[in-house]
């Protein structure tokens, strides 16, 4: 069959799964007074539509920042404004100032879900298809399988179409950046990434690899000649894009400061709820949050984050290839997730995006990571009433990715790049590391299934009400830490011969 029809079938399948999930409940459905992220997005439409630009980020009589105040960069606000205009056409009640607060109806839910689907269809899905076809290796059939697996990643589907957010826009724009950079258009790539950064500040997790990749490329071309020209071109692009995005706020420095203050709420503490990162897991042993002052927490997290991203960034700077770039994206965003300040459980989607790009190269670790990342958000899904979609989409993803990418057949030591471990663990008795990994994978999937079952079916003991969410996050944290080490080692170690050849081709 022709490729285009196979791809269309995959995309249609992905869309069907998305819409099927979106028939489910959303975050904060029927839970006044604060509701959830769904209401936040609706509220932003109301605010941006009814208030002048300079009031969007300020606390005024018409804009109570304590009730889901706008805390995303300007592009999100513009997107809300656009959606609000459409909403106004359909039903003015949906964006009525004050009166529409907490509005919930069948029609409105459909409208909101449709906006997510449209954004996904316009931004994220084309990027996935382009990436798989132009930047991944293998036969056409394999590329089609990659498209399907990336599109079926449950974490993104459940957060965007179940919980309710527009991650497909920010992640999609970042992916466009990767695709365009991979195709060699550096200026366009940086433009796409800046747009994504201006949609969601969390994209900062990805910014260092983008920076290092482009800088490394300039170095390679020689900073005295063409490299400098390229550097200037990129710098101008970035500055102009930023300026255009922030245009309405540039007139007044107070505006800029207020927006920045809204974007980075330092006062909110090291972490909230249960997050599968270092601080939350460490908090089980030592109560860091109470012992240390906020400033100390900030410095510690900053230092550890920087230390964690340093190796991958330096390696990328020295060797700016697409392969290194993808791995650096994983390593940097995962390090940010594990060590930085004020991390949400949903931020795991940021490392998940570049891991999706590795599905073709390192199927088993990628699937493992993606499944663990979905699992780490289990408490959130349970709160939103998304148990059945969580189970079904996870099963579907595991089944299709393992089956179609033949993940379990390609796990020799070489294919998994486990060579360095062999050198590190020289004292260990000889055993097949590939097989050990496979067994660890089976064990971990079983444990995830068991923990999911326990979270749903068992009541926690009275003195430990948060037992299961904590177990879930610590268990996922161990996975993330292990995989961070693994991906770092894969990046630092020299790739095998076959990969190097392919890189030359794609460059």
Q: State the residues that interact with other proteins by CB under 8 A.
A: 1-2, 5-6, 8-9, 12-13, 15-17, 19-24, 106-107, 110, 114, 117, 141, 388-389, 392-393, 395-396, 399-400, 403-404
Pairwise CA distance, residues 393 & 99, whole Å = 37
Name the minimum Å distance from CB 196 to other proteins: 26
Rounded alpha-carbon distances, angstroms, from residue 473 to 3, 185, 235, 278, 464: 40, 40, 40, 10, 15
Pairwise CA distance, residues 393 & 399, whole Å = 10
Measured from the CB atom, is 132 or 258 closer to other proteins? 132
Measured from the CB atom, is 47 or 158 closer to other proteins? 158
Name the minimum Å distance from CB 412 to other proteins: 20
Name the minimum Å distance from CB 160 to other proteins: 14
Name the minimum Å distance from CB 382 to other proteins: 14
Take residue 6 and report the two structure tokens written for it.
């196979």
Name the minimum Å distance from CB 152 to other proteins: 10
Name the minimum Å distance from CB 139 to other proteins: 12
Dihedral (C-alpha) 380, 198, 48, 155: value to the nearest 10 degrees? -20
Name the minimum Å distance from CB 85 to other proteins: 18
Of 345, 401, 340, residue with least CA distance to 373: 345
Pairwise CA distance, residues 407 & 403, whole Å = 7
Measured from the CB atom, is 5 or 60 closer to other proteins? 5
Measured from the CB atom, is 69 or 138 closer to other proteins? 138
The C-alpha angle 430, 434, 440, rounded to 5 degrees, equals 100
Measured from the CB atom, is 23 or 122 closer to other proteins? 23
Bridge partners of 271, per DSSP, are 343
CA 392 to chain centre: 21
Measured from the CB atom, is 5 or 446 closer to other proteins? 5
Measured from the CB atom, is 403 or 443 closer to other proteins? 403
The C-alpha angle 439, 444, 349, rounded to 5 degrees, equals 125
Residue with tokens 């965007």: 160
Name the minimum Å distance from CB 393 to other proteins: 7
What are the residue ranges of helices labelled H in 200-225?
Answer: 204-220
Pairwise CA distance, residues 183 & 177, whole Å = 10
Name the minimum Å distance from CB 119 to other proteins: 15
Measured from the CB atom, is 221 or 406 closer to other proteins? 406
Pairwise CA distance, residues 228 & 230, whole Å = 5
Question: b or e along 409-426 (b: 16 or more beta carbons within 10 Å of the residue's beta carbon)?
Answer: eebebebbbbbebeeeee
Name the minimum Å distance from CB 144 to other proteins: 10
Measured from the CB atom, is 330 or 404 closer to other proteins? 404
Measured from the CB atom, is 227 or 385 closer to other proteins? 385
Pairwise CA distance, residues 272 & 345, whole Å = 9
Name the minimum Å distance from CB 27 to other proteins: 15
Phi-psi region of 150 (alpha: psi -120 to 50; beta: other; left: phi over 0): alpha
Measured from the CB atom, is 142 or 344 closer to other proteins? 142
Question: b or e along 129-140 (b: 16 or more beta carbons within 10 Å of the residue's beta carbon)?
Answer: bbbbbebbeeee
Answer yes or no: are the C-beta atoms of 149 and 405 closer than 8 Å. yes
């Amino acid at each position: 069959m022709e490729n285009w029809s196979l791809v269309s079938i995959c995309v249609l399948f992905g869309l069907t799964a998305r819409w099927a999930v979106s028939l489910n409940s959303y975050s904060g459905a029927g839970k006044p007074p604060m509701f959830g992220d769904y209401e936040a997005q609706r509220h932003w439409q109301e605010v941006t539509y009814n208030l002048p630009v300079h009031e969007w980020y300020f606390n005024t009589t018409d804009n109570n920042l304590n009730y889901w105040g706008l805390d995303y960069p300007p592009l999100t606000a513009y997107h809300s404004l656009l959606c609000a205009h459409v909403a106004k056409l359909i039903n003015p009640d949906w964006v009525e100032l004050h009166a529409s607060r907490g509005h919930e109806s069948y029609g409105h839910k459909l409208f909101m879900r449709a906006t997510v689907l449209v954004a996904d269809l316009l931004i994220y899905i084309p990027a996935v298809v382009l990436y798989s076809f132009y930047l991944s290796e293998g036969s056409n059939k394999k590329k089609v399988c990659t498209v399907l697996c990336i599109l079926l990643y449950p974490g993104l589907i459940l957060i965007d179409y179940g919980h309710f957010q527009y991650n497909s826009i920010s992640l999609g724009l970042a992916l466009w950046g990767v695709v365009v950079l991979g195709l060699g258009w550096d200026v366009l790539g940086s433009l796409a990434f800046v747009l994504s950064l201006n949609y969601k500040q969390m994209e900062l997790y990805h910014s260092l690899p983008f920076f290092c990749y482009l800088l490394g490329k300039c170095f390679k071309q020689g900073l005295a000649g063409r490299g400098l020209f390229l550097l200037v071109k990129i710098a101008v692009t970035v500055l102009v894009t930023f300026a255009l995005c922030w245009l309405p706020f540039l007139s007044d420095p107070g505006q800029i400061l207020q927006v920045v203050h809204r974007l980075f709420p330092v006062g909110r503490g090291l972490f909230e709820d249960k997050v599968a990162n270092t601080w939350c897991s460490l908090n089980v042993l030592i109560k860091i949050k109470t012992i240390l002052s906020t400033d100390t927490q900030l410095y510690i997290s900053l230092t550890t984050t920087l230390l964690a991203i340093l190796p991958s960034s330096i390696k990328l700077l020295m060797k700016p290839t697409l392969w290194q770039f993808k791995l650096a994206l994983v390593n940097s965003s995962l390090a940010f997730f594990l060590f930085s300040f004020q991390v949400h459980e949903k931020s795991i989607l940021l490392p998940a995006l570049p891991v999706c790009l590795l599905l073709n190269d390192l199927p088993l670790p990628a699937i493992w990571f993606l499944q663990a990342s979905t699992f780490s958000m289990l408490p959130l899904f349970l709160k939103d009433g998304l148990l059945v979609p969580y189970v079904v989409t996870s099963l579907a993803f595991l089944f299709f990715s393992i089956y179609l990418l033949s993940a379990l057949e390609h796990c020799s030591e070489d294919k998994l790049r486990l060579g360095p471990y062999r050198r590190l663990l020289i004292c260990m008795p000889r055993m097949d590391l590939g097989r050990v990994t496979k067994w660890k994978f089976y064990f971990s999937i079983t444990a995830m299934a068991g923990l999911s079952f326990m979270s749903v079916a068992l009541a926690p003991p009275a003195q430990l009400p948060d037992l299961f969410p904590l177990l879930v996050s610590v268990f996922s944290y161990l996975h993330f830490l292990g995989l961070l080490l693994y991906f770092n080692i894969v990046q630092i170690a020299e790739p095998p011969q076959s990969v190097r050849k392919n890189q030359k081709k794609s460059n």
